[in-house]
Amino acid sequence: MAQNTLLHTNALVKRFGGLVAIDSLDLDVKERTIHSIIGPNGAGKTTVFNCIMNFFPITSGEIRLSGERLNDLTPDRVATRGIGRTYQNIRLFRNMSALENIMVGMHIHLKSSWWGAVLRTRRTLADEKAGQDEAVRLLQYVGLRGKGDILARNLPYGDQRRLEIARALAMKPKLLLLDEPTAGMNPSESQDMVTFIRGLRDELGITILLIEHHMPVVMGMSDIVTVLDHGVKISEGTPDHVKRDKKVIEAYLGTGVAHT
Amino acid sequence: MAFDVVASTFQHKAITKTAPRRAIEVGLMGFGLMIYFNLVGLIGQFMERFIIEGLATLAHTVFLGIAIGVGGLTSHRLLNETVTRRYLYSALAGLISGCSLAVLVFVIDHAQGAIFGAEFDVRFMFVALSPKLLDFLTFGTAPENAVFYHLIGGVVLGLFGALLYHLPNVLRRPLIGGLAAVWFIGLFSELIQLAMQFEVVDDFRNFFFTWEGQTEQGAVTVFVITFAIMAFVTHRGDAVMTGFRAMPSSGQKSARYALYLLAVVLFLLFPMAAGSFFGQVLMLVGLYALMGMGLNIEIGLAGLLDMGFVAFFATGAYTIALFTTSTEDVACVTPPCDYLIQIFDDRSLTWWEALPIAMIASLVMGVLFGIPVLKVRGDYLAVATLGLGEIIRVVVVSDMAAPMLGGSQGILAIPRPHLFGFEFSDPIQLFYLTLVSTIVAAYFAWALENSRLGRAWMAIREDEDVGQALGVNLINVKLLAYGLGAVFAGLAGAIFAAMLASIYPHSFQLLISINILALIIVGGIGSLPGVVVGSLMLIGTPELLREFGEFRFLAYGIVLVVMMRVKPLGLWPSSVRKRELQSVEEAEALIKQRTQGQKA
Amino acid sequence: MAILEINDIHVYYGNIRALHGISFSVEKGQIVTLIGANGAGKTTTLNAISGILAPRQGSVRVFDQDLARIMPHELVPQGVVQVPEGRRIFSRLTVDENLSMGAFTRKDKVAIAKDRERVLEMFPRLRERLTQIAGTLSGGEQQMLAMGRAIMSDPKILLLDEPSMGLAPILVDQVFESIQDIRKQGVTILLVEQNAYVALQIADYGYVLESGQIALKGPAKELIKNEEIRKAYLG
């Protein structure tokens, strides 16, 4: 399994005022792997995602995707390089239909211009049609067939999570950042999500960087697990290695029942 | 986000209150309304305006309406009570609202006097409480009797309201419909007569109207006819609809299209038949609808609150004015504009030639306008754009721009548009020009909304960060929203300049921006038909009520508040288009085709 | 005496029926948990109890009063407090101000200070962040703040919606320990939780919801051994 590195962060530092959110983080995400980031609440996990998307300027360090430096790109440019993401607290376009949500995800791949839309050129119409078909296919892929015309905010919670992933998939990303995809799901629903995420890696060849608190999910499917505490990497390795690491147990896992 | 505030509806919990408390609440509502209308002088004005000549004034109908409404509402709110008790409480509520007039009679009758030796005069504070009003409220009898009449009247009308509420549909609807028809025709009798200025209909017109109002025989006829029609519809309407549904679908379709066509033809002919007043009103409605569509792109689609929208309207109007008037009128010697003058010295452009320039100018203005506020979000954006809009207006009036833009003197003698030797000069002709522009603009707005750009706009309205993370270039998309939105206003401004033939800075007040914002909210944010409905409602209606002066803005305010209360999503809210289901089948066929191809 | 009594409630969203006929009662000092899949109606039940939604049929009785006669804002002073799912904190206020808002309807300054200390002991993380704007907290920290704010309003009945959501495993243990502490002080707790295993371990009684109805009920100790439940919810 000698894979190439897809995403690499080099001595990444992010400070908010006096608060150090991420301290000198080196992260190496290999192609076609599921790489998890775990850690106590407030350890800076979501901040890592925001840094990768460049939602705010990083304090120092470097982020590279397939060798290309992402530091100076705006988030929309980062997106065009092939990074899609979902959000911890589900951020769908709530007043748009499920289908429209996915079609916004295709924004960078659709080529039609606004004057093309007004003049109804053949190219625009064909482009729109192809996009729509693709969106319907994606809906089916995530198990939301027939729900495309429902407003996103009217979908049940689980469907919203799926739709958010479908929207990210519409970008045809190389790297998918998933922020707690099984939050609020019971164990059997979580298990379905695990199967689904594995499928993304195995069938679509997408590399996955995952933030998650459900230990069965993390341990069950990750190739590599990175543990953050107070913005510092305290452990990294295979799930088995991390699970037994004393520092991880002390700071994060605890000895109670929650990690069963 | 402004959009969320408007779009979200809350499910309120119903709180159980005791019946007497509810009746008293409703009664006090009526009481307050009546007192208020009297104190502000509304009744004073309305009592001179006949709905039915010599019989009922507008003021009478306001009193009757409130008291009957109070009775009906009380019954409606007490659905859990027995019928007898509902009547009883309705009478109580009616009595309370009737008290208001009794109190007023007493107060005006004792308007001047002395308490403990100190003299007072109620009219010093409340000018509207005139002896004339007292006369009106006492029906010419002694005040002591009038107090009594009002109390009895309140009870009777409250009971009547309850009766109306309890009547079966077959009777209630025609009754209310008939009364409403009489009222509306009486209210607009002057305008209707204006629209009937043909000799052939003179006798017909005189049967129904005098210039004072409706005639008695006219009112009776209107009531009977409306009653009959409504009774038929209520009683037999379902049967007619069943008959309609029983028709083959092609027949249904053609019947429906015939109906639409008839409506369109009537609408097209209406201003021509009704005269230039209506032409002008409809034209104004059209101009506001045009601007509404533009602002709808900014607010409804892209979620960019813009309170300076009038600036684009002004840009369109001023560009037309500059390019179509002869340069002799402009005394300009400073470098950039003397150069411009040289270019156009020989001849000024026609309206049609200047139109594209005006639209491009407003597009540029929109983009320039957008740049400084790119990073501003939400409520702050409203304030920032408000400031920008005002800056533009102030610049126009300023001495600096005066040599070119005419300062507060404005620009005069703007030529009318010509087309194939035909001149658009009177309001009716300009109305048709506006109508065509509005239809074209509506198509543009519709096409934009359903495009990739339209979806990107909606995405940044919903969540700017997420949209950006999906690859939407915020700068491009926002500037396009401002620019394209501004083009609609520029077009409206161009027509506006042609209509007035001269423009002044004071035509471009902040109030216009507010009006446009209000009309798209009332119509339903993000909805194209909503813009037209909102414009008819908020621009058309006040124009028709012009005779009531300042009081029409009271109606305007009431409409706004009531609309937001009962229809928070607007009169014609935008609906999500059904697109998935129709393409599911096609997509499935496609997948099947592909998999078969792979196998083969 | 049952301090909370739900009697055959039916709740609709528009025309969609979310709950059809749910009845149960909670005794003083109990922890009762509602478990079930997403969309089974757990949160809807909580919202009906806290007065956010009005049932179309059936009744909710709190402290032997009909909920329909209590205004939603009167519920908190009466001691019915909900910790909503999705961390509805005041994101523009500081952590400290959020906690103070929890005690908005209380007068007794000494008791408030005592509760504040209790919350900060329960969640030391919040003490570190007292002056931070709540919107900038991480997801898990916001969850702690929402719980803390609820405790500040001195609840008699605490409605908890997914308290473990987004929390690190070590914190899940802590939160559930503190839930037991809160109960020891006489607070009655109605707990909605996806992590059914943990919920059933601390609960006295459990109800399993399926598409708007109660599918199974029983003492938590028995439910946890139930084969069906193990398969469906315990993984």
Residue-wise pLDDT for B505-557, tens only, equals 888 888 899 999 999 988 888 888 889 989 998 888 888 887 787 788 887 88
* B459 → closest Cβ in A75, A84, A104: A104
State the average pLDDT for chain C: 86
Domain positions in chain B are 16-237, 279-508
Q: Please report the pLDDT score of residue B8 as a whole number.
A: 31
Amino acid letter, A226:
T
Backbone angles phi, psi at C124, to 5 degrees: -60, -25
Q: How far B17 CA sits from the closest chain C CA (Å)?
A: 8
* Chain B interface includes C74 (CB < 8 A): no
| Pick from A78-82, B329-333, B563-567, C164-168: least confident | B329-333
> How far is it, in rounded angstroms, from Cα C129 to Cα C134?
9
Measuring CA to CA, which residue among B142, B150, B152, B226 is closest to residue B182?
B226
Q: Does B13 touch chain C (CB under 8 A)?
A: yes
A184 touches chain C (CB under 8 A): yes
Answer whether B16 touches C (CB < 8 Å): yes
In chain B, residues with a C-beta closer than 8 Å to the C-beta of C69 are 15-16
Q: Could you tell me which chain C residue has the CA closest to the CA of A89?
A: C86
Provide, as residue numbers in chain A, all residues whose Cβ is less than 8 Å from the Cβ of B468: 74-76, 79
Res C159: pLDDT: 92
* Secondary element (H or E) of residue B61: helix B58-77
What is d(CA A255, CA A188) in angstroms, rounded to the nearest whole number?
23
CA distance B556 to B559: 5
- The mean pLDDT value for A189-208 works out to 92
Q: How many CB pairs under 8 A join A and C?
A: 110
**B276-295 and B474-500 are packed helices; what angle lies between their axes, rounded to 10 degrees?**
170
Identify the CA nearest to A149 among candidates B582, B574, C13, B587. B582
Per CB-CB distance under 8 Å, the chain A contacts of B580 are: 97-99, 136, 139, 146-149
Structure tokens at B87: 């009547």
**Contacting subunits of C (3+ beta carbon pairs below 8 A):** A, B
Residue B540 per-residue DSSP state: I
B16: closest chain C residue by CA? C69
> Residue B480 is nearest to which of A112, A114, A133, comparing CB atoms?
A114
Cβ within 8 Å, pair B13-C69: no
Select from C140, C174, C233 the Cβ nearest to the Cβ of A187. C233
Mean pLDDT, range C102-119, rounded to an integer: 89
Q: What is the dihedral of CA B212, B214, B217, B221, to 10 degrees?
A: 170
Interface of B to A at Cβ within 8 Å reads 3, 7, 443-444, 447-448, 450-456, 458-459, 461-463, 465-474, 480, 484, 576-581, 583-584, 586-587, 590-591
Q: Residue B12's pLDDT is what?
A: 41
Interface probe for A, chosen from C136, C138, C161 (most Cβ of A below 10 Å), is C138
* pLDDT bucket at C165, cuts 50 / 70 / 90: confident
Higher-pLDDT residue of B268 and A77 is A77
Judge: A79–B465 Cβ closer than 8 Å, yes or no.
no
- Using CB atoms within 10 Å of the CB of residue C212, give its burial: 0 to 12 exposed, 13 to 18 middle, 19+ buried: buried
The beta-carbon neighbor of A75 closest among B453, B469, B590 is B469
Nearest C-alpha in B relative to C73: B13
Chain C interface disruption, residue of A92, A151, A162, A186, most C CBs within 10 A: A186
Structure tokens at A208: 């996955």
pLDDT of res. B327: 55
With beta carbons under 8 A apart, name residues in chain C contacting B15.
68-69, 71
Q: Which of C87, C139, C173 sits opposite A258 (nearest CB)?
A: C173
- What is the three-class DSSP state of A227? strand
Angle subtended by helix axes B474-500 and B310-324, to nearest 10? 50
Give the closest of A95, A114, A132 to B579, CB-based: A132
8 Å CB contact between A236 and A35:
no
**How far A189 CA lies from chain C's nearest CA (Å)?**
8
Q: For B473, phi and psi rounded to 5 degrees?
A: -80, 105
Mean pLDDT of A178-186: 88
Whether B13 and C52 lie within 8 Å, measured CB to CB:
yes
Please give the residue that has the higher pLDDT: either C16 or B259: B259
Q: How many CB pairs under 8 A join B and C?
A: 17
* Closest to B22 (Cα-Cα) out of B80, B104, B109, B83: B80
Chain A residues with beta carbon closer than 8 angstroms to that of B453: 113-114, 117
CB of A15 within 8 Å of a chain C CB? The answer is: no
Output the pTM of the full model.
Answer: 0.82
> Using CB atoms, which chains have 3+ pairs under 8 A with B?
A, C
Q: H helices of chain A, where?
A: 45-53, 75-80, 98-105, 114-119, 122-141, 157-169, 187-204, 215-221, 239-244, 246-248
pLDDT at position B575, please?
65
Under DSSP, the state recorded for C68 is G
Averaged pLDDT for residues C53-73: 82
> C38, A156: Cβ pair inside 8 Å?
yes
pLDDT at A102: 96
Q: Is residue A52 packed enough to be buried (19+ CB in 10 Å), middle (13-18) or exposed (0-12)?
A: buried
Residue C189 has pLDDT above 90, yes or no: yes
Band of pLDDT at residue C13, cut at 50, 70 and 90: confident
Q: Which residue in A has a C-alpha nearest to residue C176's C-alpha?
A: A258
* ipTM reported for the complex surpasses 0.85: yes
Q: C170 vs A258: CB contact, 8 Å cut-off? A: yes
Q: How buried is residue C159: exposed, middle or buried, by Cβ count under 10 Å (0-12/13-18/19+)?
A: buried
Q: What pLDDT score was predicted for residue B396?
A: 83
* Rounded percentage of chain A residues whose pLDDT exceeds 90: 65
> Is C211 in contact with C16 (CB distance < 8 Å)?
no
Within an 8 Å CB–CB cutoff, is residue A186 touching chain C? yes
A260 has a pLDDT exceeding 60:
no
The residue-averaged pLDDT of A224-243 equals: 93
* Residue A15, beta-bridge partner list: A20
Chain B residues close to A148, C-beta within 8 Å: 579-581, 584
- Provide the 10 A C-beta neighbour count for residue B261: 11
Average pLDDT of the segment spanning C25-35: 92
* CB-nearest partner of B580 from A78, A131, A149: A149
Between chains, do A171 and B470 touch, taking CB under 8 Å as contact?
A: yes
Residue of B9, B10, B11, B17 to mutate when probing chain C, most C C-beta within 10 A: B11
Q: What pLDDT shows up at residue B576?
A: 54
- The first and second tokens of residue A193, run together, are 């999500």
Q: pLDDT confidence of C74, banded at 50, 70, 90?
A: confident
**pLDDT averaged per 10 residues, chain B (length 600):** 33 60 92 91 86 87 93 88 89 93 87 75 81 85 87 94 90 90 88 79 83 86 91 80 76 84 84 81 93 94 91 92 70 57 63 91 94 86 89 83 75 80 81 92 92 94 93 94 95 92 86 92 87 90 81 81 80 64 52 50
Rounded mean pLDDT of A54-82? 93
Which partners does chain A have (≥3 C-beta pairs < 8 Å)?
A: B, C
The answer to whether residues B424 and B430 touch, using CB atoms and an 8 Å cutoff, is yes
Residue C1: is its pLDDT beyond 90?
Answer: no
Tell me whether residues A184 and C87 touch, CB distance under 8 A. no
